[in-house]
Structure 1
Amino acid sequence: MTHTIAPAATPQQPAKSAQSPLFDLLARSWTLEAAITDVALDRAGKAAGFALADGRMALMPLDDPESPLARMRVEADSGRSTIRPREKPVAQPILTPELATGAPLLAPSNMIGLVAAGRDGRIHRVTPRGQVISLCNKAEPIFALAADGLGRLAIARDGRTDLHDEDGMARQAGLLTPGPAHALAFAPDDRSLAVALKESLIIGQPRKGYELFPLGGSGPIGFSADGRWLVGSNGKDGIWLLQRQDGQIARIGKFRAPPTSVAFSRAADAVFASGAFRAAGWSLAAPPFGNEATGALKTGRSGLVLIDKVAAHPARDLIALGTADGAVAIAQAGRAEEMPLRQADGAAVTALAWSADGLHLAIGTANGEAALVTLPPQLFK
């Protein structure tokens, strides 16, 4: 992986920036009024929604009139790519009213835009242009949210998880649980629902039955793109990895911090997690069932600051890494070389996500800095 794009020559002195020249060329960035806790992109690829700690959401369109792709020029004699600086200020984000008491939980809507759910029980649909539509206003805490892309929402409340039609919010089915689920995820192959609890994991479908696994925790969970694997944080010092076909489980520990982010890379056939001084990764071609060193992929440089967030490119074997001090880099799975993208500013990266086409990387931090970075394919070899 190599960085081949340079700033275009300009007769004017560029404005001073706290960020790298590459970030300034490729990113649209904003300073918001509250810490960012999450980011989600809608299924149509129109907008990114950043969840704010004060209960609001900030919406930014992925489309950019001055995209780096439009500002790029390839020199005929050398083939060298350059990008001229942006000439106009970036458009301001759309800020919604308060959607929740505390940071809203986000999921892509099955219809349009994003769904935002509050711990206070409120649920809204927010369109890419910022229109807010109330879906539910029950005074009952919501602990987790997921959407299956086919019309259903899964909503975790204390002691049960319910499936609803998003259109009209009719309740389809319910699953009683010992306490609230802390994370929900739909399998992409058969739309089975995974319900992560403190002491166990439940996977299944209404009327078809559920399986119970001894895989507790308090962190995130996620399915691989083909639905064969499920990964989750144990909320303490590591992750677990479940192979659904035969129920084999790998438990991987000794992380420096509880993993708050997990990701599968389809291109690398691997799984990654935060919580270490470099991206912790393992090949799924040689899963670490017997020994956690089996299939280990040393990805990115080992530093002195913990990786807080990881995100896998949807098509390439690239992993975005966000650190506890605000730096963001991109590394190729299994290689130490990194492409520094965002410089550290002392505030942790709290949100990191690729767009479905892999062209944009959304970044959010604990001090309210949000960015959409457009990464031309020419950037990588």
Structure 2
Amino acid sequence: MNQTLASPPAPAGLTGTALFDLLARSWTLEAPVASVTLDTAGKAAGFALADGRLALVPLDDPDSPMQRIRLELDSGRSTIRQREKPVAPPVYTENLGGTAAMVAASGKIGFLAAAADGRVWRVTPRGQVIPLSREARPLSALATDGRGLVALAQEGKVDLLEEEGMTRRVGLLTAGAATALAFAPDGQSLAVRLAEGVLLWPPGQEAVLLPFPGSGPVAFSAGGGWLAASDGDQGLWLYRRADGSFGQIGNFRAPPLSMTFGAGDATLFAGGAFRLAGWSLDTPPLDGGQSGALRSGRSGLVLVERVAAHPDRDLVAFGTAEGAVALVRPGLPDEMLLCPGDGAAITALHWSACGLHLAIGTAAGGAALVTLPPRLFK
């Protein structure tokens, strides 16, 4: 049975819309999903589970929607046939610590995973687990630059190491334990989230403390010109690196658990509201969130918890506390619903670097890779 891609169908049940059923591979995993990471080679998605394991699935699909699309010569419309080949089951790793592992993309192969007790492993796309180190003290955060450098946070310090051999390159003393780390896209700076603020650290040089107290995630824009940090309460901080100007955006309904910058460093989006919260950075919200506000999608009664901007297109995915996932264009009211929601919160949302796949994870152990052909958005 073929369906056209020109007009996405209406929702059809809790498993997803008819469009989702045609475009997605989905699994019910054996534990709640805490996060999802895609490797730098574009080979696999790693779902970190609450019980300490990783569930690995390949991005390559022998029955991909890209292969199932046909162009009707008489009408010029694109149609897609139903999947014929079964979806491959996920590969589970051994337990890596009893609670959700910290996971980042390796600069070599696959993923790096760290347990709170200090153990660090390399996990290959096929599920092989290779011990790399055992730190003497518990770890609180992990980040990689995708080029072979690893940052590990412990109580009172952050160390920068070479992934090959886990050789320590340089360290930074901190007041307490960092709760989040993020490399700038050029790898020349590391953002370190502490309770009293965010340290912006060019490794080997003196760190600058940005006066952004709180907790929660930190994120650089793809071009590196902007830094956003949750304040752990009902807002976030926004910092423009070119001139050091900053502002606090408040009045969220809940702490933003997720934030994302749009392609070209032109926009910022965050969870924590009853609709997708977003701003144009042409008129940045450095005045408390009033400037540049973008009304995207529709307002509802359920919090948006996870957001992910497409790496190339003017397109944003968001997931709600009840499990719905939709796609919107910034500043426009229309939404393309992928999953209507089954009551389990979306806990992970991530685009592949090529922009073809959207990875989704839920608090009930639901997982999916949605392959979205470019012609769907023409």
TM-score, normalised relative to structure 1: 0.95
Pairing 1:1-381 to 2, within 5 Å after superposition: 4=6, 18-267=15-264, 269-381=266-378
Give, in whole Å, the separation in 2 of the partners of 1:224 and 1:366. 27
Give, in whole Å, the separation in 2 of the partners of 1:312 and 1:162. 30
Give, in whole Å, the separation in 1 of the partners of 2:276 and 2:140. 28
Which runs of no fewer than 5 residues in structure 2 stay unpaired? Answer: none
Tell me the secondary structure at the aligned position of residue 69 of structure 1: helix
Give, in whole Å, the separation in 1 of the partners of 2:250 and 2:371. 35
Q: 1:4 Cα shift?
A: 1.4
Q: 1:268 Cα shift?
A: 6.8
2:222·2:265 contact (CA, 8 Å) conserved in 1?
no
Q: State the aligned residue count.
A: 373
Tell me the secondary structure at the aligned position of residue 65 of structure 2: coil
Give, in whole Å, the separation in 2 of the partners of 1:333 and 1:342. 19
Q: 1:277 Cα shift?
A: 0.8
Q: Deviations over 1:38-68 (max 9, x none)?
A: 0000000000000000000001100000000
Q: 1:207 Cα shift?
A: 2.6
Give, in whole Å, the separation in 2 of the partners of 1:145 and 1:81. 43
Tell me the secondary structure at the aligned position of residue 209 of structure 1: coil
Q: 1:362 Cα shift?
A: 0.1
Q: Deviations over 1:19-51 (max 9, x none)?
A: 221111000000011000000000000000000
1:3·1:380 contact (CA, 8 Å) conserved in 2?
no
Q: 1:378 Cα shift?
A: 1.3
Taking only the aligned residue pairs, the percentage that are identical comes to 59
Give, in whole Å, the separation in 1 of the partners of 2:188 and 2:331. 31
Q: Deviations over 1:93-150 (max 9, x none)?
A: 1100011230001100010001111112111111111111111123521111110122
Q: 1:181 Cα shift?
A: 0.6
Aligned counterpart, 1:10: none
Give, in whole Å, the separation in 2 of the partners of 1:120 and 1:133. 16
Amino acid in structure 1 at the alignment position of 2:115: G
Q: 1:217 Cα shift?
A: 1.7
Give, in whole Å, the separation in 2 of the partners of 1:196 and 1:291. 21
Distance 1:17 1:351, change over 3 A: closer
| C-alpha RMSD of matched pairs (Å) | 1.7
Q: 1:82 Cα shift?
A: 1.4
1:5·1:82 contact (CA, 8 Å) conserved in 2?
no
Tell me the secondary structure at the aligned position of residue 176 of structure 2: coil
Give, in whole Å, the separation in 1 of the partners of 2:7 and 2:79. 5
1:40·1:107 contact (CA, 8 Å) conserved in 2?
yes
Moved more, 97-106 or 133-142: 133-142
Q: Deviations over 1:71-98 (max 9, x none)?
A: 1111112122111111121001110001
Give, in whole Å, the separation in 1 of the partners of 2:283 and 2:8. 39
Tell me the secondary structure at the aligned position of residue 175 of structure 2: coil
Distance 1:205 1:91, change over 3 A: same
Q: 1:17 Cα shift?
A: 7.1
2:223·2:264 contact (CA, 8 Å) conserved in 1?
no
2:14·2:340 contact (CA, 8 Å) conserved in 1?
no
Moved more, 211-220 or 324-333: 211-220
Tell me the secondary structure at the aligned position of residue 157 of structure 1: strand
1:5·1:80 contact (CA, 8 Å) conserved in 2?
no
Q: Deviations over 1:217-260 (max 9, x none)?
A: 21111101111100011110011100112211110001000000
2:267·2:280 contact (CA, 8 Å) conserved in 1?
yes
Give, in whole Å, the separation in 2 of the partners of 1:350 and 1:27. 18
Tell me the secondary structure at the aligned position of residue 41 of structure 2: coil
Moved more, 134-143 or 67-76: 134-143
